[in-house]
């Protein structure tokens, strides 16, 4: 469907891609409609999008793309629009892409940089929502609340089998892989709310993040040291080719006597799930909490009937606080770019 524009062509043209799950900040929305010509994305497929980008197409003169709302919600959750294969169709006028969320592994940032296109995410906008989800998964990995809830609904007496399995996290060590905004918030909540000791692994020590946590946290110079130290491990790091299956068989072999607990709120492919399931059978891992999965959407069939593990459908971000943050930072980036030539939260750098 062609979108007819009656606004002056001197305004930058922005293609807006939004999901059904999005908040609109009325004052900001009114302002950006005055500043920009806004085209609404309504393609049925990525192929249709590419055709509209071609010379003479309805998207052939766009200056920027803003993708806001919950990326995992419909109707465009499967539309991967920032890959190298799609980018070759972009018009030369396109100089900025802003996409909601903390992660950016679905975008080929190197390709975009080579093309002279700024790419921005929205850091620290869903920190609270994801950190709260992590806290729930940590507690469930110790207390097996998913199993207990199933018992409450189906077999009350079976819940008594938890008697010698469930423990509290108080005094145990939480190891956080990735002490960014979310990792630091998880650390603080776990220490102050659950009484856990803390350690973390980054590629290098981050003293400023340690200060932000506000309680004692020790740095592990290697992933192996963190795994040998921790009773529960939380993955809060980006997914890259280098972090693919960062937890697999040899890593689970490093668990303390009595086993480790594993929580993942980052990206599913950080964990080799076949190895994780085997580690559970071998009691190298004794508790699991997953918001993300290796082959989502959907979960491994072995998790479906395993109520001793807590599994969520990638909803850690799912809160109105996140949608408000996404919306504000997306449009703040667009406004800053067209006013100053540089966006506020770029992932890359354009000379």
Catalytic residues: 267, 296, 314
Look at residues 95, 93, 123, 119 and name the one whose alpha carbon lies nearest to residue 107: 119
Residue 203, class by beta-carbon neighbours within 10 Å (0-12 exposed, 13-18 middle, 19+ buried)? exposed
Contact 347, 120 (CB under 8 A): yes
Bridge partners for 310 per DSSP: 289
Q: How many CA atoms, within 13 angstroms, populate the side-chain half-sphere of residue 48?
A: 9
List C-alpha distances in Å: 272 to 113, 177, 233: 31, 16, 15
Q: Which two tokens stand for residue 146?
A: 């998913």
φ, ψ of residue 233 to 5 degrees: the values are: -115, 130
Radius of gyration over every alpha carbon of the chain, rounded to an integer in angstroms: 22
Interatomic CA distance for residues 299 and 297, integer angstroms: 7
Helix (H, G, I), strand (E, B) or coil at 137: helix
H helices of the chain, in order, are 26-35, 46-53, 84-87, 109-114, 127-143, 145-154, 181-194, 207-213, 223-229, 249-252, 273-281, 301-304, 320-340
The answer to whether 144 touches 288, Cβ cutoff 8 Å, is: no
- State the angle between helix axes of 320-340 and 26-35 in degrees (0 to 180), rounded to the nearest 10: 30
Token duo for residue 204: 């290098």
End-to-end CA distance of the chain: 36
């Amino acid at each position: 469907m062609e979108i007819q524009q009656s606004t002056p062509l001197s305004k930058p043209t922005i293609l807006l891609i939004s999901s059904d799950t999005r908040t609109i900040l009325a004052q900001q929305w009114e302002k950006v409609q005055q500043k920009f010509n806004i085209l609404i994305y309504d393609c049925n497929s990525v192929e249709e999008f590419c055709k509209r980008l071609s010379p003479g197409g309805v998207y052939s003169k766009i200056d920027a793309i803003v993708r806001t709302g919950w990326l995992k919600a419909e109707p465009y959750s499967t539309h991967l629009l920032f890959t190298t294969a799609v980018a070759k169709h972009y018009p030369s006028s396109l100089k900025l892409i802003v996409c909601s969320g903390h992660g950016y592994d679905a975008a080929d940032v190197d390709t975009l940089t080579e093309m002279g296109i700024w790419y921005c995410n929205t850091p620290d906008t869903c920190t609270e929502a994801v950190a709260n989800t992590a806290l729930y998964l940590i507690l469930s990995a110790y207390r097996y609340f998913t199993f207990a809830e199933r018992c409450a609904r189906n077999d009350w007496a079976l819940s008594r089998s938890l008697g010698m399995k469930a423990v509290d996290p108080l005094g145990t060590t939480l190891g956080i892989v990735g002490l960014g905004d979310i990792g630091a918030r998880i650390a603080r909540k776990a220490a102050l709310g659950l009484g856990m000791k803390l350690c973390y692994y980054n590629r290098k020590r981050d003293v400023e993040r340690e200060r932000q946590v506000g309680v004692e946290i020790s740095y592990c110079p290697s992933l192996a040291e963190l795994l040998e130290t921790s009773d529960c491990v939380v993955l809060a790091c980006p997914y890259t080719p280098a972090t693919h299956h960062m937890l697999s068989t040899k890593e689970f072999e490093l668990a303390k006597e009595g086993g480790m607990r594993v929580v993942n709120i980052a990206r599913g492919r950080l964990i080799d799930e076949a190895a994780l399931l085997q580690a559970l059978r071998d009691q190298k891992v004794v508790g699991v909490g997953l918001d993300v999965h290796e082959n989502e959407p959907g979960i491994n069939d072995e998790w479906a009937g395993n109520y001793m593990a807590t599994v969520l459908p990638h909803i850690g971000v799912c809160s109105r606080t996140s949608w408000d943050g996404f919306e504000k930072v997306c449009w703040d980036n667009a406004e800053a770019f067209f006013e100053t030539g540089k966006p506020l939260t770029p992932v890359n750098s354009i000379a």
